[in-house]
Amino acid sequence: MDIVRTVADLRTRVRAWRGAGETVGLVPTMGGIHDGHLALVRAACDRLDHTVATLFVNPKQFGPGEDFGSYPRDEEGDSGRLEAEGVDLLFAPPESVMYPEGYSTRVEVAGLGSILEGAFRPDFFSGVATVVAKLLLQVLPDAALFGEKDFQQLRVVQRMVLDLDVPVEIVGVPTVREPDGLALSSRNLYLSVAEREIAPALFATLSAVAEAVRAGAEPEERERWAESALLSAGFEGVDYVAVRDGVTLGPYATGQGPGRVLAAARLGKTRLIDNVAL
């Protein structure tokens, strides 16, 4: 696996593959590589001839007081794991390549980007949409793969690609979980031993909501139940538990199309998000 740090080097490599009629997949990451990322790489390797991964901790998607400074950074460990899983090329640009002096453009997905996570992290989705738009234009892959763990991010990226006519398929890959149900996340590293024991209650509670709504329970009543169940389990705060339409993330109409239950809750310094299908 080669590591490139400039857009020119990245394009030279991808152009050679394209010239030989080969397909290219993109797995964008911020590092902290875990089995969830490796599932994205495997899905890319299964579908496409070549896999490009990116490693860039994107400052534009962190708000003031968030964990940009402490986000896990271990390029050597991360690149070893990506290479072992079959990545052909790693694009690990410095910030000056992604956002050179004078950089001024932001991509905003209105509506979808300002609800749920967007209501609590106002610049998050425009930061994500901006960096993903750049990565897509830099690599020009046939497909890009994103984890369903960040379900709203997946929908925001799909909307952006549709709206901007970016010629790429966006593929969602199911969440990878620990045996006790906790969704894998780079931020799980922040949990203390005691918090780690409480954390699986998030998936268990969302699964219980999904099951109850499927059986005919009132979504809003189950959302309120879930908030108090999470607090009783030991979470210190619940930002939201929401039963939503699985495509638009707008209000869920019982029995009409796929639904999704999404939540964000706080354990000490860590904010966990998760979601399950209805």
Catalytic residues: 37
Please choose, out of 25-33, 77-85, 214-222, 241-249, the segment that lies near ligand PAF by the rule CB under 6 A. Answer: 25-33
Going by their DSSP bridges, the two strands 2-4 and 89-91 should be labelled as parallel
Q: Is 128 in the site for ligand PAF (CB under 6 A)?
A: yes
Joined tokens for residue 201:
């209650």
| Beta-strand relationship, 259-267 and 169-173 | unpaired
Assess contact for 121 and 63: CB atoms under 8 A.
yes
29 binds ligand PAF (CB under 6 A): yes
| Neighbour-count burial of 221, counting CB atoms closer than 10 A to its CB (0-12 exposed, 13-18 middle, 19+ buried) | exposed
The CB-of-222 to ligand PAF minimum distance in angstroms stands at 28
Site for ligand PAF contains 138 (CB under 6 A): no
Beta bridge partners of 170: 144
Of 98, 107, 131, 201, the one binding ligand PAF by CB under 6 A: 131
Token pair recorded at residue 225: 């139940």
Shortest Å, Cβ 54 to ligand PAF: 7
Query: What stretches of 141-200 show up as alpha helix (H) in DSSP?
Result: 151-163, 193-198
Which letter, b or e, does each residue of 222-237 get, where b requires 16 or more Cβ atoms within 10 Å of its Cβ? bbebbbebbeebebee
With CB atoms as reference, the residue minimizing the distance to ligand PAF is 28
Residue 58 lies near ligand PAF (rule: CB under 6 A): yes
- Contact window for ligand PAF (CB under 6 A) among 43-51, 124-132, 222-230, 262-270: 124-132
> Which of residues 151 and 203 has its CB atom nearest to ligand PAF in the complex?
151
Assess contact for 92 and 77: CB atoms under 8 A. no
- Find the binder of ligand PAF among 78, 148, 150, 274 (CB under 6 A): 150
Q: Which stretch binds ligand PAF (CB under 6 A): 23-31, 81-89, 166-174, 230-238?
A: 23-31
Single out the segment in contact with ligand PAF by CB under 6 A; choices: 74-82, 83-91, 128-136, 261-269.
128-136
The residue among 88 and 150 lying less far from ligand PAF, judged by its C-beta, is: 150
Amino acid letter at 68? F
CB of 187 to ligand PAF, least distance (A): 10
Contacts of 132 (CB under 8 A, 6+ apart): 28, 144, 157, 160
Are the C-beta atoms of residues 21 and 48 closer than 8 Å to each other? Answer: no
Nearer to ligand PAF, 185 or 205 (CB): 185
The residue among 152 and 205 lying less far from ligand PAF, judged by its C-beta, is 152
Residues that bind ligand PAF (CB under 6 A): 28-30, 58, 61, 128, 131-132, 150, 153
